[in-house]
A and B are shown apart, each in its own frame.
Chain A
Amino acid sequence: MSSPLAPATPGSRSVRRLLSPGLLFALPFLVLFAVFMLWPLGQGLWMSLTDTSLSAHTPDFIGLDNFSEAVRDAEMWRALGHTVWFTALSTVPLVAVALGMALLVHTGLPGQWVWRLAFFAPYLLPVGVVGLLWIWLYQPDLGLYNHLLDGVGLGRVAWLSDPSVAMSAIVLTTLWWTVGFNFLLYLAALQSVPDHLYEAAAIDGAGAWRRLWSITLPQLGRITTVVTVLQILASLKVFDQVYLLTKGGPDNSTRPVVEYVYDVGFTGYRLGYASAISYVFFALVVLASAAQYAALRRREK
């Protein structure tokens, strides 16, 4: 890495300007950025206007055909719907449970490291492990959860093969897997609530509940907004655990839009159409971000 850092050799003004140290420092990033982000973004856009295929066939320019097909493609809308539905189902518990865990742990009860380990460790598992683990837990005849349901006299559940249950099962897995991340963010925020607020409240004789409602929770308002925003954006990108648990099934009833891109592009060979759907997905993410930004601005006012 030493060559770009070497002081620029004296030369003409323009060369010096071009090879200014700042640019040289930024260059490695800019090159990677251009080659692996800007170029693919452009190429994706171009491919979405062609019928590029995984096979040896030479692509033809087809204008906006892919996009007009996408608008009429019921499966795409269904997949978008699943992504939005997953986001709606997962965001609330992922924020609320994380908050509850953080509040409880923050009370200073003994066994701090045990709690942190229990709640955060799943986040460190590779999703491949999460997939194997939960397929086994949800296994209809031998899985732990159906054994437990049997044990308390409730019937067995076809966790991953019943279209009305599968999405909830995926949400449960996601909650278990990633809640630890939000939990840590809350824990950090709780520790930065200024002590003097509590001291004042204690002098006023406020009880524990009172302090929770009138100091802690209001102080957590902002971090809650941030955690929610991050969670929504993360949930919209869901693919891994759905693919590993159900492959989008049964009957495509859990297939998110990212998996639809994968299915169309690689299973169906239609890279061009898959690129068009990628851009539809991008539009969804941008839309969600813009909506959240607008909502934030309104609240600020």
Chain B
Amino acid sequence: MTVTPEPVGRPGPTRRRALTGALAAGAAVLGAGALSGCGSALAADDRTVRLWDLFSGADGGLLNDMVRRAGPDMPGTRIERTVLEWGTPYYTKLAMASAGGRGPDVAVSHMSRLAGYAPTGLLDPWDLDLLAEYGVRPGDFADAVWSRTRFEGATYAVPLDTHPFIVFYHPEPAARAGLLTGDGVLDTEAFGSPDSFLAAGRELAKASGRQGIAFGYVTDTAQCWRLFYGLYRQTGGTFRLPEGGPAEVDADRMTEVIAFMTKLVDGRVNPRRLDYAAAIAAFANRQTAMILSGEWELGTFRAADPKVGAAPFPTVFGTPAVYADSHAFVLPRRPHPDAGHRRRTHRAVAALLKAGQIWATAGHIPAYRPVTATAAYAKLRPQADYARAQSSVVLDPAVWFAGAGSDFQNAMCQVLQQALLGDLAPDRAARAMVRRLDTFLSKPSPA
């Protein structure tokens, strides 16, 4: 015993007694209510569709605008957003909430993560008939995107957008370098092989007076992989990841791609050790004439150069392929879904898709094609210039451990970064990637 007991029988100070009493009484009442299980927020107003998403910043503001625009299209329904922290924490929470069966009514997920969710029973499929009733049909989406929404005959995702990895450029130096076509857009033919790509980089460097092409990757957990996987798929090399392993990949072509990437950040024509933010700054400040980047940086770049141009990632290795991902709506699992509420949710998502023109201003390509087919969309520059990328997009391999914000992308980037920094020869980097792939494949799938 640490404490020397207070003198027996001394009445405690009244303040303390009052505190203890009040606390006990209050807590007993609250506690009784809580433990009787009334704690679920599912009981919330059934006209509200609860949406989880990971958009903050400019995207977050635009989604708010979309929710407002969608309002008249879904009378009697209210969308309530919850914004959670982007990346791994988001997907962890989504999985845990779905497992518990008390998740939100609908959530945004990257399509590349679907393979880790749909076959594991954490999501419920969408009802295509219901969606069709509200004007959303499979034919309204690009095949390359729609094909990724399906598992075992059911549709688990309704795509909101495609966000490809593209090239941005400043038009003046690009024109001076002779890399624009007659109608003022990038001549992607001039980037049609590894050698011509590098030559174009040299021309851009000359034209900008500084350096050519920026690419930010140091300590980044996705950039190297985005560039690598898009280019690798252009080679036509196989990339099959059967459960249990080993990975069926073409190590020679991987080496070829890595060698090209290494030359791209040579430090002379193009800057060498850029992290993500430094690359953005280098391009925005016109230290470079071009940048390899996700389209989601459009807002930043346009603020620096209102005339900034953009084009789908050029086909360097023969087969058209543009690395991309897609934000999609998913239905977290509910053991006993309420049919009326599910209908409301379908309707709300259809209404949001139709407000996609707002979403396009951020740079994302709306997945719902009736939006991109409008004259208003065709006038959006430079968005309309890269919208055709949608037909040749490649997403992460459809395995449970891959996708946006995954450990897998991070692991691949760690190897690629070493190669790009010159610490690892391209062929050894390719072999190291294969080894890491095999480690991931050896882990049991949760499905």
Task: Given A250-B219, A251-B414, A269-B446, check contact A56 B121 (CB 8 Å).
Answer: yes
A54 partner residues in chain B, CB cutoff 8 A: 95-96, 99, 120, 122, 446
Q: Are A57 and B91 in contact (CB under 8 A)?
A: no
Residue of chain B at shortest CB distance from A249: B221
B337-352 CB contacts (< 8 Å) to partner A: none
- The CA-CA distance from A107 to B91 in the complex, in Å, is 53
Residue of chain B at shortest CB distance from A161: B219
Q: Mark B416-447, 1 if CB is under 8 A from A, else 0.
A: 00000000000000000000000000011011
A56 partner residues in chain B, CB cutoff 8 A: 120-122
Task: Given A247-B88, A266-B92, A267-B88, check contact A57 B447 (CB 8 Å).
Answer: yes
Residue of chain B at shortest CB distance from A75: B407
B88-133 CB contacts (< 8 Å) to partner A: 88-89, 91-92, 95-96, 99, 116, 120-122
A251 partner residues in chain B, CB cutoff 8 A: 219, 414
- The CA-CA distance from A178 to B89 in the complex, in Å, is 26
Task: Given A251-B414, A266-B96, A269-B120, check contact A55 B91 (CB 8 Å).
Answer: no
Task: Given A161-B219, A267-B88, A267-B92, check contact A57 B414 (CB 8 Å).
Answer: no
Residue of chain A at shortest CB distance from B219: A250
Kindly state whether residue A270 has any CB partner on chain B within 8 Å: yes
A269 partner residues in chain B, CB cutoff 8 A: 95, 116, 120, 446
Shortest C-beta distance, A225 to chain B (Å), equals 15
B397-422 CB contacts (< 8 Å) to partner A: 407, 414
A-B contact number at CB 8 A: 46
Q: Mark A245-289, 1 if CB is under 8 A from B, else 0.
A: 001001100000000000000111110000000000000000000
B92 partner residues in chain A, CB cutoff 8 A: 266-267
- The CA-CA distance from A267 to B408 in the complex, in Å, is 12
Q: Are A53 and B414 in contact (CB under 8 A)?
A: no
Q: Mark A41-68, 1 if CB is under 8 A from B, else 0.
A: 0000000000101111100000000000
Which of A247, A250, A266 has a CB less than 8 Å from the CB of B95?
Answer: A266
- The CA-CA distance from A53 to B447 in the complex, in Å, is 8
Residue of chain A at shortest CB distance from B275: A161
Shortest C-beta distance, A226 to chain B (Å), equals 10
Residue of chain A at shortest CB distance from B85: A247
Question: Beyond A54-B122, A55-B447, A251-B414: 4 further Cβ-contacts under 8 Å?
Answer: A51-B444, A57-B446, A161-B219, A266-B92
Q: Which residues of A contact B (CB under 8 A)?
A: 51, 53-57, 161, 247, 250-251, 266-270
Q: List 5 A-B contacts (CB under 8 A).
A: A54-B99, A54-B122, A55-B122, A55-B446, A267-B88
Instruction: Please provide the 5 A-B residue pairs with the shortest distance between their CB atoms, ordered closest to farther.
Output: A56-B121, A55-B120, A269-B446, A53-B446, A267-B92
